[in-house]
Structure 1
Amino acid sequence: MTSDTPGRIERWLRHPYAFRAVLFVAFALALPSIAIGFHTDDYMLLGFLARSYPGSPPWYDLYNFAPGGARDTQALIEASGLPWWTHPELKLHLFPPLASALLTIERLVFGSAPLGYHLVSIALYLALVVAVGRLFRRVLPGATAALALLLFAINEDHATPFGWIACQHLLLATLSTVLGLLAWLRYSEAGWRPGRYCGPLGIGIGLLGSEAALGGAAYWVAYQLAGPARPGCVAGWRARLLRASPVLGLLAYFAAYRAIDGGAANSSMYVDPLSSPGEFARAAAERLPILLGNALALVPSGLSITQPKVPFILAGLTATACVALLYRACLPSILHEERAALRWLVPGAVMALVTTLGGFPGARLLLPSNIGFAPLFAVLLVRGLRRGPSPWTSSLGRRAGAALLGVLHVALAPCLLIIGTRAHAQLARKVEDAARNAEIGAAPGQRVFVAAASDPMAAEYPRAVFAVRSPGALSCWSNLSMAKVAHHLTRTGPSSFTLTPVSSTLLTGPFETVYRAAASPLDGGERVLQCGATIRVSAVEEGRPSRIDVDLGAPLEDPGLVLLAWREGKLRRVAPPPVGATVELPWSPGPLGL
């Protein structure tokens, strides 16, 4: 096949029904997500709506997990709405009012049946695929556009956005910004005047859906700075900057976000670039190559949360260099139309990725970025697999690189998407089983203390399940330690005991530092009230508690008290030892299996 002769696959991609076929594939891949049901944060948000979770925010602000004020935070800690080690001024306040309103409406319509919620998510995802397809058809040749849409639709990173109800905000924001971008392209390239207003409107509505709309705005900025000029417009950087002036509207969004006290503070996993620029830069230096490795080579970024980060960083840098070399090798055969599109789509994808680096790391963050990466992969596959000489590397090496890219993003990605959807469903059932099988008893209003459980699926989320399925069963739920080691529990009095992690300290795991940044140590002797108990930090090592004293305010044998620990796949009761005696609580992996 010569460099200018389309192959069989390209002819298939140019078929009039190619886009309909991709939409059908997207539907077939997304439909099994209905088996996931409610999953982790879904229960927490539904508990907020039912007002059965401590400190439930109003219906229009469901993603306000920690308001940031010392008084409100202390009240949440005492009611066990936040862990006892939470920073006194922790702020985890996201503000997607459209997503909150959508979930409120879904609860009114569908109640406690998850099927309807999932059908809404699938419909949003299919609408996004259609909108992205229209974008690709506008800026890319037919075969490349169809392949780019296929790569976007089967991307394994999308299992969480369309499969996790709590992530509907990502779909809302991305869909709205893509529609706004399409309107702006029509205005810029064809003079369609309504697009001058519909474009910014799409971004604005997207920002009400989620902060992820900033990723969509990144494409808008990239197009204004590097995209083709509209006929009749003055060219040059000064003119392009003038055309980008509507983006200044984003400043109004940031001002409003500050006015409602949105953002994050005093957390190691959520970092606000506006209030903590230095900490954000440090986190971004780690997270950007990790997420690039996920986007370019399917290296699972989620594992970097609990595993050493250096291998993931190196994998991301290597993948980026390899893709850059492959692009250079394919450059002579890339069409002018494709180059013009990639000139703003790829920088837009990278900028979109940068806007997500302050969030909890994971593949779900790549949804906006994949709008720009999918066309890049499509161009490299279409041009890289063709025979013909290359001035930068051998034809065999170029074709081998493109073939490897195809194996990853055409063959492996949909398999991983299916596996990821199934894994979400299995994990959801495990969390529900952890709540159902917890040795709590039937008495209502019990105070539950989890002495040792390192996995948040065992330590935190069973409580959310109780809040939705058995709202009166528990009065509070206190998680005492998430250290990934065995613990010694020594009874010091009728109502008190000490809890000591063996050969470790508390606040070393990633899920613990969600609530308290590593740079904010706890002091020895510090006391915290929670769930009617007094928790005192009695020993520290490098600012992290190595022993805590707990007084439950009632004898450990009180029937209203439940002392649990995660052992052998179950939250089991801990039999109170005699005063002065010690029991060992061995560590075992939780539902996540980590």
Structure 2
Amino acid sequence: MKTSLPDRAERWLCHPRFFKAVLLVALALAAPTVAIAFYSDDYIFLCYLEGLIPGSPPWYDLYNFFSGDPRATQARIALGGMPWWADPELKLHLVRPLTSALITLERAVFGHAPLGYHLVSIALYVALVAAAGGLFFRVLPRATAALALLIFAVNESHMNTAGWISCQHLLLAALPVVLGLLAHLRYREEGWRPGRYLGPLGLGIGLLGGEAALGGAAYWVAYQLLGPAPEGRAAGWRARAASALPAVGLLAYFAAYKAFGGGAANTGGYVDPLATPLRFATAAAERVPILIGNAIAAVPADLSNALPPAPFVALGLASAAGVALLYRACLPAVPERERAALRWLVPGALLALFTTLGGFPGARLLLLPNLGIAPLLAVLVLHGLRRGASPGLASAGRRAGAGLLAVVHVVIAPILFVAGTRASADMARKIEDVARTAEIGAPPRKRVFLAASSDPMASMYPPTIIALESPDAMSCWSMLSMAKAPHRLTRTGPSSFTLAPIGRTMLTGAFEALYRAPSAPIRAGFQVAQCGATIRVAEVEDGRPARIEVDLGAPLEDPGLVLLAWRDGKLRRVAPPAIGEAVELPWSPGPIGFF
């Protein structure tokens, strides 16, 4: 008798070596990420550790990007460590001491050789896949657990986590939390006494890695509320007291986080739910569907930072509705063990999703939410592909939906993982090329003024690469405008000029708003000193600069000055026009292509 595809697939999934095979697949997918080498924020951390950026944080607090101290901010602005338009009370302090210590150790051991950093990330990722497999095989039937593990391991949204050194905080947060959750489940279900304490310990270590560990705590909460009732020793008063430890620990964590200065404020990119709950709720209404669309349909959430978000929101809502309908159609065939697991894994995933919403929407945020989403997808694929007792339109629709999920998450996902690795490696090389071909000239140290460059990869990150590779090349770097528009530069004196974007204002892009929230308008007459120059806002529209006046404090022809603009794929010198004359700086897309 001919067996069906689902039956054959289950036999493969139940093979005793399938677990190890998935770990090898995860390793094979993650290994090529060594080609990415250093990328964007990685250079910032290296500059911090070498004291090359004004106001660099200490080694144990590398994710303290902006402290929120007005005096410190103004000092950094003056020295070119932040854009001139940065809010004086700008704060972006992510408390991740364990990750900061790891990066510091890696730099001490590997120096400027990125291979060692990547090998650490790859090892952590494979270990996390193994831990996730331990969880899945504990709470799900073997075939379903195996498919969930495969879906988790090859998920394209994990590429940045496995391959971007700056994302090691996600791995250091997730791995101990998942291991702690496993220990807690073993305690609850078997009475394994060490699990009473190893569970909270895992959560605590994860929180030292980064606030992403709150996503793991979400599963803990969901299991406590919606999971099976404890039995035996795990049901006693001591057990109930031990179960309360994570809640007490989370309160202590939030208190310590704030006491240490952690949080975000006065930035358009990050939202602190404790400081601005209403703004967080507004952001969540947009970001949750975007991330769900990425998790279910592989619609890249990162693109919503560069493109209008409405289509991403619509696709996310449609994906969620489709999965809900498919689960309803599959429910009669889903055994109780799988239902019981999904009763807390899926709410845990949604809670974990909410813990990620403070940052820019991006696939990297789905690492811990996928711990609950992967089992749901596995259940839908295995039961949705089976033929129903009464074939018909509904049965065909169910099988089509399950087949689509299988194609997206088993066939296409690893391809996207590899493609994402290649794209990131290509982007990393482009950023390095931008820095190395910037027309700064030979030392002595120059004051560099970037008149116009809208792409962060051609404005924010090149100076960190230049500082690391050629410490004597420049003394200061000033970004004058990141507006996505052509600009008109009009010389008004020997050392002065005006700069105006044509057809739009400044501070409308996502990365411009990173340094100043839209709720903090700039008034005409606002003046800042930076890199020995004076920058004054001369004209404003809707609270955003439309024209600035710049006096460099020395003639524009001074050999110690460099005036650059992004043109035709390079940071090129701008020839100063004669006094009273203007030059137009055309816009062209940067390395990302959208900015």
TM above 0.5, one fold? yes
For 2:445 and 2:274, the matched residues in 1 are separated by 42
Give the CA deviation at 1:309: 1.1
Deviations 1:47-103 (A, max 9, x none): 100111221110000011100011111111111111110011000000101100000
Secondary structure at 2:307 match in 1: coil
For 2:205 and 2:382, the matched residues in 1 are separated by 35
Aligned length, in residue pairs? 591
Checking the alignment, whether the CA contact within 8 Å between 1:156 and 1:416 is kept in structure 2 is yes
Checking the alignment, whether the CA contact within 8 Å between 1:494 and 1:555 is kept in structure 2 is yes
1:11 aligns to what?
11
Checking the alignment, whether the CA contact within 8 Å between 2:184 and 2:199 is kept in structure 1 is yes
Comparing 386-395 with 39-48, which one deviates more in the overlay? 386-395
2:20 aligns to what?
20
Give the CA deviation at 1:149: 0.4
For 2:242 and 2:439, the matched residues in 1 are separated by 65
Letter in 1 for 2:68: G
Deviations 1:235-287 (A, max 9, x none): 9xxx9999456323201000001101101000111000001111111111110
Tell me: CA distance 1:55–1:393, structure 2 relative to 1, closer, same or farther (3 Å).
farther
Matched, 1:143 2:143: yes
Secondary structure at 2:404 match in 1: helix
2:404 aligns to what?
404
1:247 aligns to what?
247
Tell me: CA distance 1:545–1:93, structure 2 relative to 1, closer, same or farther (3 Å).
same
For 1:424 and 1:5, the matched residues in 2 are separated by 36
Over the matched positions of the two proteins, sequence identity in percent amounts to 68
Write the mapping of 1:439-518 to structure 2, written as runs, cut at 5 A.
Answer: 439-518=439-518
Checking the alignment, whether the CA contact within 8 Å between 2:203 and 2:246 is kept in structure 1 is no
1:361 aligns to what?
361
Tell me: CA distance 1:128–1:242, structure 2 relative to 1, closer, same or farther (3 Å).
closer
Deviations 1:506-565 (A, max 9, x none): 000000000100010001000011111110000000000000000111111111110000
Secondary structure at 2:65 match in 1: strand
Letter in 1 for 2:88: P
Give the CA deviation at 1:3: 12
Deviations 1:133-184 (A, max 9, x none): 1111111111111110000000000110111001101011000100110111
For 1:565 and 1:390, the matched residues in 2 are separated by 67
Checking the alignment, whether the CA contact within 8 Å between 1:224 and 1:240 is kept in structure 2 is no
Secondary structure at 1:433 match in 2: helix
2:231 aligns to what?
231
Secondary structure at 1:511 match in 2: helix
Letter in 1 for 2:505: T
Matched, 1:120 2:135: no
Checking the alignment, whether the CA contact within 8 Å between 2:528 and 2:534 is kept in structure 1 is yes
Secondary structure at 1:512 match in 2: helix
Give the CA deviation at 1:336: 1.0
Write the mapping of 1:185-584 to structure 2, written as runs, cut at 5 A.
Answer: 185-232=185-232, 243-244=243-244, 246-389=246-389, 394-584=394-584
Give the CA deviation at 1:472: 2.6
1:84 aligns to what?
84
Letter in 2 for 1:486: P
Letter in 1 for 2:452: A
Secondary structure at 1:130 match in 2: helix
Checking the alignment, whether the CA contact within 8 Å between 2:483 and 2:507 is kept in structure 1 is yes
Deviations 1:430-483 (A, max 9, x none): 000000000000113211110000000001110111122222321111010011
For 1:369 and 1:3, the matched residues in 2 are separated by 35
Checking the alignment, whether the CA contact within 8 Å between 1:384 and 1:402 is kept in structure 2 is yes
Instruction: Return 5+ residue gaps in structure 1 as ranges.
Output: none
Letter in 2 for 1:263: G
What is the TM-score normalised by the length of structure 2?
A: 0.97
For 1:240 and 1:340, the matched residues in 2 are separated by 21
Instruction: Return 5+ residue gaps in structure 2 as ranges.
Output: none
Give the CA deviation at 1:4: 11
Tell me: CA distance 1:5–1:269, structure 2 relative to 1, closer, same or farther (3 Å).
closer
For 1:107 and 1:24, the matched residues in 2 are separated by 28
Checking the alignment, whether the CA contact within 8 Å between 2:79 and 2:531 is kept in structure 1 is yes
Tell me: CA distance 1:570–1:234, structure 2 relative to 1, closer, same or farther (3 Å).
closer
Letter in 2 for 1:446: K
Letter in 1 for 2:436: R
Give the CA deviation at 1:389: 3.6
For 2:176 and 2:77, the matched residues in 1 are separated by 37
For 1:455 and 1:242, the matched residues in 2 are separated by 50
For 1:389 and 1:367, the matched residues in 2 are separated by 37
1:586 aligns to what?
586
For 1:58 and 1:201, the matched residues in 2 are separated by 26
Checking the alignment, whether the CA contact within 8 Å between 2:187 and 2:234 is kept in structure 1 is no
Give the CA deviation at 1:234: 9.8
For 2:508 and 2:406, the matched residues in 1 are separated by 39
For 1:513 and 1:201, the matched residues in 2 are separated by 38
Letter in 2 for 1:434: V
For 1:471 and 1:584, the matched residues in 2 are separated by 32
2:61 aligns to what?
61
For 1:586 and 1:11, the matched residues in 2 are separated by 61
Checking the alignment, whether the CA contact within 8 Å between 1:499 and 1:549 is kept in structure 2 is yes
Checking the alignment, whether the CA contact within 8 Å between 2:200 and 2:245 is kept in structure 1 is no
1:93 aligns to what?
93
What is the TM-score normalised by the length of structure 1?
A: 0.97
